[in-house]
Chains A and B, each alone.
Chain A
């Protein structure tokens, strides 16, 4: 083990600083504010620090380490050129409060991204300010809320979500002050239109739904759902978590949605960084545009005078929407993430559809290969498809319920068995509507060979002695971690040796 707080050897610091511009003259700090006890931070030389974090990194699994079929998270390869671009001083060393003429490059990239996202989503206006998918949900729901307030429809206090929705949907709507109405899914995992029709009324502000849904199924009745909600006077909100399945094939706009958030860190390859940063822009139809958080990038054709100091013949500027809900982040969103996703977009251009096609191809192929290998190994009776369907979209679900009943092997056991074979496990126990669920999303950046080998290993795991599987994982840096112990014996920081 390497412990950061085990280091207290090196005198001074792990990197050398130049002298202050003038010697310290004590009295400038008010007496009552002088720090009495220094933080008990460790003292590491640079080599010790580098070795510690390198050691930690070796105990962590990323896409670069191996196949990462984590459903709903879209763990695709992160192109390295994006990282190089994000370090350029023209993005790393700029300040959001600089005057517009000093930020023409940033503004032009923002404008290009707003424009592109508007086209692929079928939306009229886009803001890049929300910094994560959940914040995008919250922002769009706030825009819808203000839209209804301005129209005097204050009675619209409810937001409808399917029971298979991501937890962030109800959490975001509740944070904005809405009451949540959850509607059950049909047994095949699809949306229940009659249940929707039964709850949609003059108190409905919006319905939040993702399509393909969390089971990886395309909701073919989506236009009908939009019609029901619109007829009741509500708004349709598209959760873009699964947008990577349909880009260039269909769009939320075509399906009748009024607002959408994008997970740039899913669809457009911003690295997930162990949990963030992300970026969650939203797109809206024109009637919601006046409520977007500002500023958004806009442009006009440069005048003869301006041409010398502008980008590609345009003068870019920030625009504040008329009835803006205000801000959801203090600055202009996660610009560094937007830049990476801009580079990703440029790599594909109008060929983005190919990305979605290959994501869907790989998901269907992997589902096929898993069934094929399981049959070959004689373990195909130990699991079932989470949903009956001919084709899945970018992800699919499996239910380990048969294995649970026959052998006492749970989805979690299978997940841990996969860790032992060098894979990240699929998402387990989500969506809740599938018993003993495993949710598998291979993404478009995995080769056929990787998918075939994974399928073989999946069958191998199911063929493993259940006793052995309960013991898994055994090859990982630690074995099964006791989460109950963690919650009952809270240790949330280094305890030091407090006397």
Chain B
């Protein structure tokens, strides 16, 4: 039996990143879950990401 199946035989403790609906679904099924307050860097805004990248140079 693969190790992944071993994992699912145990009580799962889940850390959810990203869409909150995944967290809500697990919570509804009484799975122990915490939702991480996470967002993509600069909200995924390409212009802001480019500006931040320019300031990250080590020059």
Bound pair (A, B): no
Chain B positions within 8 Å of A, measured between CB atoms, are: none
Binding site for B on A (CB under 8 A): none
